[in-house]
Amino acid sequence: MKIMTKPEYERWTASTRDERMKWWREAKFGMFVHYGLYAMIGRNEWAQVDENIPPEEYAKLADDFPYKKGMAEEWVKLAKASGMKYIVLTTRHHDGFSLWDSKVNPFNSVNYGPKVDIVKEFTDACRKHGMRIGLYNSLMDWHNPDAFDCMSEKAAYDRFIEYTYELNRELMTNYGKIDILWYDGSNPLCSAAGWDSLRRNQMIRKLQPEIIINNRSCLDEDYGTPEAHITPMERDWEACMTFNGISWGYVNSEYAASYSYTPSRILTMLNTCVECGGNLLLNIGPKPDGSIPEEVVEPLTKVGAWLSENGESVYSLPRVEGRIGGNGVTYETQNGNNIYLWNRIWCGEPEIGVGGYVVPPEKITLLATGEELEFEALEHRLIIKNLPKDCPDKHAGVAVFKLEFKDKPQYIYASRYPQLHGGEKIL
């Protein structure tokens, strides 16, 4: 296979990106699943290194890895019920344990523990439930001595690079169409040249012509991956967040529950992503046997119920350009002439004010029910009237007002106080 140079490859990936990314840009919300031997320790997926557990001792966990057949389908069903459109599974985290029948890595879930090809179960379940498939694969490997010796020995380096190439080739060959390859952990080689990423990624794209690749193989590829924070980027981006702000891998459900995100907190994160042109990849860390931790089920299914009524304010929306009017308790998304105001705290008043539109909308409705709401348009100020005392959204306490304008809405920031806000007057 002829390998393109970096500039050639980047030109080619840029010219084909829009087509490849279409579904992903519409999807907005995905599930990250961190599952592996570290679930048995229950103190973060970095336990091996953080607690300095010798590799031989850590590897013994594999003998008793208690994955229960069928659990992968449970993850997929939960993602579906949560309104998520894709799932990314850690097929092999930094500990080097493969969740598939690897021929190059005998340290895997078919040779040890459950003797199950979990990646096969997972990809089958995704297809069964119409879920897009993402495979996470670490570059770094704490189990393979070559991953350390590669820094000082040429033979170890060559072996390790071929090993990395083959692991990815297996994943891209044996499980049908894969939608996303989610790389992670570029230590210790830390550069595209060091990891030979150009050659490997071109092989991957040849095997999976529509695949989307993230930016963690030291090439920019298709999208950026802000981690544990939601920081918009100019390019396509996806924020990955844990469910408790603490660990990607499983931690005891009873103790983790109080740190878990509530439905409204999840919607706040999702709103920022949609408004700023990104996706949200929200993580769950299944228990040692693969079952779903209790604390994630209720918040996620409530978000799913909310999305089934309010999805129009999320899926397929473009990044918001410029500012949008609202008030101190709303967040906004936009689709052309329609503005969606996500009212995140219901203040219990019969009226709420919304500032800043130069021309009032033609209609305001409650998105979930389509109920038309009465409103009054004062100068650059809308008063929505006759609101009930209790928030009409029972899933997350986030009611969405849909404002439909005749033309593209124009926004003016505090028209009465231009001196306070730099005088952004439109009229």
Task: Evaluate the omega torsion of the peptide bond into residue 188 and state whether it is cis, within 30 degrees of 0.
Answer: yes
Binders in 219-238 for ligand GLC, by CB under 6 A: 227
Cβ proximity to ligand GLC: between 141 and 184 the closer is 184
Q: Convert residues 287-316 into a mask of x (bound to ligand GLC by CB under 6 A) and - (unbound).
A: ------------------------------
For ligand GLC, give the closer residue by CB, 93 or 205: 93
* Residue from 248, 331, 340, 346 binding ligand GLC (CB under 6 A): 248
Residue 228 CB, shortest distance to ligand GLC, in Å, is 8
Both tokens of 291, joined, read: 């079952």
Could you tell me which residues are beta bridge partners of residue 183?
137
From 45, 95, 146, 275, residue interacting with ligand GLC (rule: CB under 6 A) = 45
Closer residue to ligand GLC (CB): 214 or 313: 214
Two tokens, residue 384: 């929505």
Residue 255 belongs to what H/E stretch? helix 253-256
- Contact residue for ligand GLC among 95, 117, 170, 184 (CB under 6 A): 184
Strand partners, 281: 30, 240
- Kindly state the smallest distance separating residue 53's Cβ from ligand GLC, in Å: 15
Tallying the residues shown for the chain, one arrives at 427
CB 383, CB 419: distance < 8 Å:
no
Minimum distance, C-beta of residue 425 to ligand GLC, in the bound complex (Å): 44
Quote the least distance from Cβ 240 to ligand GLC, whole Å.
5
Task: State which of residues 71, 126, 218, 240 lies at the interface with ligand GLC (CB under 6 A).
Answer: 240
Size of interface with ligand GLC, in residues (CB under 6 A): 8
Alpha carbons 34 and 90: distance in angstroms, whole number: 5
- Closest-by-Cβ residue to ligand GLC is 227
Cβ proximity to ligand GLC, 264 vs 279, nearer residue: 279
Rg (CA), the chain: 24
Distance of CA 290 to the CA centre of its chain: 20
Name which of 223, 365, 369 is nearest 306 in CA terms: 369
Question: Residue 97 or residue 248: which is nearer to ligand GLC going by CB?
Answer: 248
Q: Give the nearer residue to ligand GLC in terms of CB position, either 70 or 188.
A: 188
Nearest distance from C-beta of residue 182 to ligand GLC, angstroms: 8
- H-type helices in 284-331, by residue range? 294-310
CA 71 vs CA 13, 61, 66, 77, 87: distances in Å: 36, 19, 11, 10, 14
Is the separation of the CB atoms in 186 and 140 below 8 Å?
A: yes
Tell me 411's DSSP state: B
In terms of CB distance, is 23 or 46 closer to ligand GLC? 46
Residue 184 Cβ vs ligand GLC, minimum distance, rounded to whole Å: 5
Dihedral pair phi/psi, residue 370, rounded to 5°: 80, 0
Return residues touching ligand GLC (CB under 6 A).
34, 45-46, 184-185, 227, 240, 248
